[in-house]
Structure 1
Amino acid sequence: MVRVRRPSPQTVAVLAALAEAGDGWSHGYDLCRALGLKAGTVYPILIRLTERGHVETSWETDPPRGRPARHLYRLSTAGAEFARAVSAPARANDGATAPRLAPGTI
């Protein structure tokens, strides 16, 4: 029997924030501040989503002077579809029921 895991509310929040940014890149630190989550929560979620092909990553190419380059994140095409899939049922049911996902998607 395959166990289907539902994404955590924190994962859904990260996906929603990245979806809101559209094709734009987001910094992990900015996601932490915007979502009110700690780095120890957000970065493992970003890593998992990246490993599963839902998030693309890149290094900032031209950081402001005096600050090191940051890692950037945005949803991949598959990630955008996944974000819609996990957020639509939650909105429709006011978060009462999480969607059923295919095994290994999150």
Structure 2
Amino acid sequence: MRITIPTARILAVLLAEPDADRYGLELMQATGLASGSLYPILHRLQEAGWLAAHWEEIDPSAEGRPARRFYRLTPDGVVSARQALAELRAQTSVPAPVPGTVKPA
């Protein structure tokens, strides 16, 4: 799976509490992503088996709002997400120069 910066943001939020159910609006607020970016990524993560989703079991008329769809990383998703974020960090980190190898301009 290709890990973009928006995908990494979502994974980081989900990994902060891997046993917690998160719903769309909560993820949008935590990541700063718009729904048009968030939901396609959630769908891809779900298709890859990294994410499980389920609908909240409420009576919408009694609650005065629609049911929420909750998302949570699967056990395999937790492992894969941690690995993917570690690889992304390794790819994007700039190594410190070795003393004596950088010549002044």
Please indicate the TM-score interval, normalised by the length of the shorter structure.
0.7 to 0.9
Correspondence 1:33-72 to 2 at 5 A: 33-62=29-58, 65-72=63-70
Deviations 1:48-101 (A, max 9, x none): 1001100000111237710111100000011101111111233456x348xxxx
RMSD between aligned residues? 2.0
Q: 1:13 aligns to what?
A: 9
Find the structure with the greater CA-based Rg: 2
Give 1 or 2: higher helix fraction: 2
> What secondary structure does 1:67 align onto?
coil
| Cα distance in 2 between the residues matched to 1:44 and 1:80 | 19
1:100 counterpart residue number: none
Unaligned runs of 5+ in 1: 98-106
Higher relative contact order (CA 8 A, sep 6+): 1
TM-score by length of 2: 0.77
2: CA distance, partners of 1:50 / 1:92: 25
For 1:75, the equivalent position in structure 2 comes to 73
- 1:6 CA drift (Å): 3.2
| Gap regions ≥5 residues in structure 2 | 95-105
2:53 is paired with a residue of what secondary structure? strand
Per the normalisation by structure 1, the TM-score is 0.77
